[in-house]
Structure 1
Amino acid sequence: MFFLLLSTIFWVLTKFSRKDVSEIEANIAYVNVPSNKILAEDNLKSLTFELQANRFEALYYNVKTPIISVDVAAYLNGSKNKSIVDKASLTGLISNQVNKNLTVRNVSVNQLEIKLVNVDSKKVPVIASTSLTFKNGFDEVGEPIIKPDSILLRGPRKLLDSISEISTIEFKRDEIEKSLKVKIPLIGIPSRDIQMVDTEVIYSLKVEEFSQKIVTLPVKLINAPATETIKLIPNKVEIDFAVSLSLFNDISANDFEVICDYAKRNADENFMIPEIVKSPEGIKDAVLTTKKIDFLIFK
């Protein structure tokens, strides 16, 4: 058994050490593309060639597919949108990157033609996709800030014209009680011909604790006839609203204005609906505790 195993090993070594010609497939990696151009989608992605090597080496390259890097800028054909690598140059590239000591021949293409597309640029706004819930008594203050708020895209004009905005992936957070400042990735562009300069944005949101507050103020009557005296019942109303603790003492009744429009009165039942026409920034859910106001007319 020992001598049988030993003879088998020698047979395999002898068999696989012989020089032979094998067909090898290689992938192409295009590098150093000029900044004002991008690769067209229909460029060649792989090629085949014959490699004169022993069977161990051939087996290695069949198992691990070689990658041939092609410098696009080095073969750019003047001002035209293509780079051309002739067969001799392509054979040399393959030989240098696979194994200089092995013979490469019969490359599957007579020349490698690399098609390029001119690119334009366009800025589009970023839309944050969020699903946020706040801890009881807490809420957001103001609008969220997104930096950068717009993204530079590069690609063919026809494709750029079809894109009006870029969205982030959905960001979820529950029971929020502190201000947020997080990085959120952008949703990628399906087309490989479009390049995004940025791939993520910083999303900031101010969060504070809120409390309820009530203010009382007089109702202003508008569009009333000058020949009549109108008495409102009641002539003062309360506004109930939520405000952050940092602004709680700064908000007063003077920051609001409530009106009743005589032109919109219900003449049959003698009442008007009060409206809030002025309110300060930073408050939420402002409501009138009085839903309708009666009136008397004195002539």
Structure 2
Amino acid sequence: MKRSNSFIKNSKWKSFLFFLFLASLFWLLTKISKEFIAPVSATIVFMNVPETVSIKETNADEITFNLFTNGYEFLGYKLKQPSINVDVSKFKNENNTIQISSDELLKEINEQFPSTRAVNTLNLDALRLKVDPIVRKKVPVVINNKVTYKNGYRLIGAIAVSPDSVFVSGPQKNVAEIDSVFTETVLLELLEDNISKKINIIVPQMAGISMSNKTITASWVVKEIAQKEFEIPVQVINKPSGVIIKIIPNRVKIKVDVTLDHFNDITANDFEVFCDYDERNTDENFMIAHLRKKTEWVEHIELATQKIDFLIFKE
């Protein structure tokens, strides 16, 4: 009998809680279905920004206004903040400031919300956008590369980069700080043949910066190298008249690196070694030897001796 009474009491208590939940739910649904005026915050999205300017990051990116809405919609706005698109091209830029009045903002907002939802109050009297003029500047491209060559092979000339410069565009202050742009690092090992690679350019980490090109093509001309030695007579230029100058040594050795396809074309006549008497060291009686080449086929030249002693005799 006691167990039966306990079961009845538990059933009544559960029924009471169930109907209390339904009543609370009905009350809540009734409340949030009612319409009222509430403040709503929205993110500002600037659209159709003229190509001649950029919006500064310090500008306001959020706006608050009173909206006639119901609880369902208000809850949705709290869970997911709405956004307002502002067409910047509609408004005039004066002294790098675009001013949008509260009336113009209200018009933009009301056009984007349901027609039954009226917006009537903003948290500002006007939206003043500070803008930077967009400028364009041509800067060189610097290639980052780590390259090794097979023994006996070498890069001929410089790495060919195309294009070798790009136009960077952006806010005047940021563009002024850019003197060159760099590529991603290229790793090449033990090259023995010509090679070309497309490489990405690293965009400078500055607000509003864009580039005319995002990639370049770099080319390496690689050839096998051999070494030749020559003994070249030393000449003296700017020699005064009425004297005889004896130089020691009067011939110097040079070592040159030449590509195999031009190895037999290079002769001693392709080089000159000279000393300038006007640049002599009068305290120790010596001159510095300089080398002049007459060919483009030589990749590297090594002058064995640069210090040339001299003696002066009267004629």
TM range (shorter): 0.7 to 0.9
Of 130, 136, 139, 1:125 maps to: 139
Structure 2 residue corresponding to 1:60, chosen from 43, 56, 76: 76
Q: How far does residue 295 in structure 1 lie from its aligned partner after superposition?
A: 8.6
Over residues 24-62 of structure 1, what are the superposed CA-to-partner deviations in whole Å (9 max), with x where a residue is unaligned? Answer: 211112222334344355432211122333333222222
In structure 1, give the amino acid aligned to 2:124.
V
In the other structure, the counterpart of 1:212 is 226
Query: Which residue number in structure 2 is paired with residue 86 of structure 1?
Result: 101
Partner of 2:55: 39
Distance 1:212 1:292, change over 3 A: farther
Contact kept in structure 1, 2:256 and 2:299, CA below 8 Å? no
* More displaced stretch, 52-61 vs 67-76: 52-61
Q: Which residue in 1 is equivalent to 2:156? A: 141
As a proportion of its length, which structure holds more helix? 2
1:136-176 CA-to-partner distances (Å, cap 9, x unmatched) read 344433233252514243544xx379436132255242426
- The residue number in structure 1 matching 2:4 is none
Q: Which moved more, 1:5-14 or 1:159-168?
A: 5-14
2:255 pairs with 1:239: yes
Partner of 1:102: 117
CA distance in structure 2 between the partners assigned to 1:53 and 1:271 by the alignment:
97
CA contact (8 A) 2:234 2:250 kept: no
Residue 207 and residue 65 in structure 1: after superposition, are their counterparts in 2 closer, same or farther (change >3 A)? farther
Counterparts in 2 of 1:260 and 1:85: CA distance versus 1, 3 Å: closer
Of 287-296 and 25-34, more deviation after overlay is shown by 287-296
Asked if the contact 1:166–1:186 (Cα under 8 Å) also holds between the matched residues in 2, the reply is: no
Distance 1:29 1:125 in 2: 32
Q: Which stretch of structure 1 is more off in the superposition, 22-31 or 224-233?
A: 224-233
Q: Are the equivalent residues in 1 in contact too, given 2:156–2:299 (CA < 8 A)?
A: no
Where does 1:257-268 land on structure 2 (aligned, <5 Å)? 257-259=272-274
Work out the CA distance in 2 between the residues paired with 1:180 and 1:135. 15
User: Equivalent residue of 1:57, what SS?
Assistant: helix
Q: Is the 8 Å Cα contact of residues 208 and 244 (structure 1) preserved in structure 2?
A: no
Instruction: Give identity over the alignment, percent.
Output: 26
Matches within 5 A, 1:1-299: 4=18, 7=22, 13-14=29-30, 16-40=32-56, 42-76=58-92, 81-117=96-132, 119=133, 121-128=135-142, 130-137=144-151, 138-144=153-159, 145-147=161-163, 149-156=165-172, 159=173, 162-163=176-177, 165-168=179-182, 171-175=185-189, 177=191, 178-188=194-204, 190=206, 192=207, 195-198=209-212, 200-223=214-237, 228=244, 230=246, 235=251, 237-241=253-257, 243-245=258-260, 247-248=262-263, 250-259=265-274, 274-278=289-293, 280-281=295-296, 283-289=298-304
| CA spacing shift, 1:74–1:249, aligned 2, 3 Å | farther
Aligned to 2:3: none
| SS of equivalent to 1:34 | coil
Q: 1:173 to 1:188 in 2, by over 3 A?
A: same
Q: CA deviation at 1:202?
A: 1.2
Q: Which structure's CA Rg is the greater one?
A: 2
Cα distance in 2 between the residues matched to 1:293 and 1:253: 20
Tell me how large the CA RMSD over aligned residues is.
4.2
Give 1:219's aligned amino acid.
P
TM-score when scaled to structure 2?
0.69
Gaps of 5+ in 1: none
Shift of 1:86: 3.3
Give, in whole Å, the separation in 2 of the partners of 1:264 and 1:166.
Answer: 39
Contact 2:199 2:216 in 1 (8 A): yes
How far does residue 21 in structure 1 lie from its aligned partner after superposition? 3.6
CA distance in 1 between counterparts of 2:125 and 2:117 reads 20
Offset at residue 187 of structure 1 (A)? 4.0
The amino acid of 1:211's aligned partner reads I
Distance 2:246 2:66 in 1: 102
Does structure 2 retain, via aligned residues, the 8 Å contact 1:28–1:45?
Answer: yes
Larger mean Cα displacement after TM superposition, 23-32 or 163-172 = 163-172
**TM-score normalized by the length of structure 1:** 0.72
